[in-house]
Amino acid sequence: MWLPISARITLFPFGQGPQPDALVLFRAIWDTDPDSFSRQSNPLYPSTAVGKRGNFQCQSTTHATRVDLLLGPTDPKESGVEVVLDEAPHLSLIEDSAALYVELGRMIEAVRAGNFSANRVALGVQFVQTAKTAAEANQALVAVVPPQYRLQLKDEVDVIVQVNSPQSIALKPELPFNFIRKWSTETVQVYSGFVPIAVSTTGMQLAPMLQPNNYLVSSVAYDINSIVRADALSQDEQNAVLREALGRVAADQQVLGLSVQGFGP
C-alpha cells in the first residue's frame, strides 16, 4: 500500500531584505511555538524550528536562498534511547493521507496570509511502499510508471526515472511551472538506540549505542515548482501555483495507480 512519507512547501525569497527566521516562520504557519529552535550565528547558515501539529512532525527552515516548510510522520514512540533489543524500529509513514491533504491546503492559505516575498514557489510530496526484496520493489515501481517511461526491471537496485513535464495553469498561462515526477527504489535508514545490557565494571555510565535499520521502498516523488521570474509573485499568484500543484499531485497519483485514499478533495 502506497502512503506519504513527507511533504513540503518551498518559497524562494525575492529582494534584499532580511528573511524571517525559522521561529517566526513556524509561529506564522502553525500558530504555535516549536519544540526546538536553532539559530546560526552565520547568516549564511540556515535556522531551523521543529515541533508537532496533530499527527505531523513540522519543520521550518530558513536560508538566504530558500525557505522550507516540511511535514513528516511523528515517531510512534517517544524520542529517546531504545531499551528493547528484540524489536526493530518502525518505518514511520503518514497514515492519515486525508489529513495531510487538508494540512497542506491550510498551510497554503497560511503562506498567503504571511505575505512572504518570493519569485518562485514549490510543493513536493513523496509516496512510498515498503518491500522485502529488490525484485518486489521494482515490481511495485514498474506498475505505477506510465508505459512510455517503463523499464524492464528484475532485481536491479537504486533505480531512478525522473521526468519533467513543464505546464501552466489553464486560467493563468502567465504562470508556467515544472511538473517533475521521480520514480525510484531507495533504502531508508532508521536509527535505533539502546543501552548495552553488560554492566560497566568501572561503575561509569555506558553511553547509548546507535544501530541503523534499513528499509527498502519503492518511491514516487513529486516536485512542482514555478518558473523563476525577474519580479516577485503576488500573494494570489503564489497561492494559485501552490493550489494547482496540490491538485495536480492529488489527481496524478490516482492516474498512476498509487490510489492513496483520502489524498484529494
CB atoms within 10 A of CB 38: 14
pLDDT given at position 212: 80
pLDDT given at position 39: 83
Write down the mean pLDDT value for the chain. 88
> Distances in Å between the alpha carbon of 225 and those of 66, 134, 179, 240?
13, 31, 7, 12
pLDDT given at position 19: 73
Is the Cβ–Cβ distance between 100 and 123 less than 8 Å?
no
Indicate the domain borders of the chain. Answer: 3-256
Q: What is the CA radius of gyration of the chain?
A: 21
pLDDT given at position 192: 61
Q: Extract the C-alpha cell encoding 188.
A: 531508508
**Can you give the pTM of this predicted structure?**
0.88
Show the low-confidence residues of the chain (pLDDT under 70).
Answer: 17-18, 76-89, 192-210
Q: What phi and psi, each to the nearest 5 degrees, are found at residue 103?
A: -65, -40
pLDDT given at position 211: 73
pLDDT given at position 44: 75
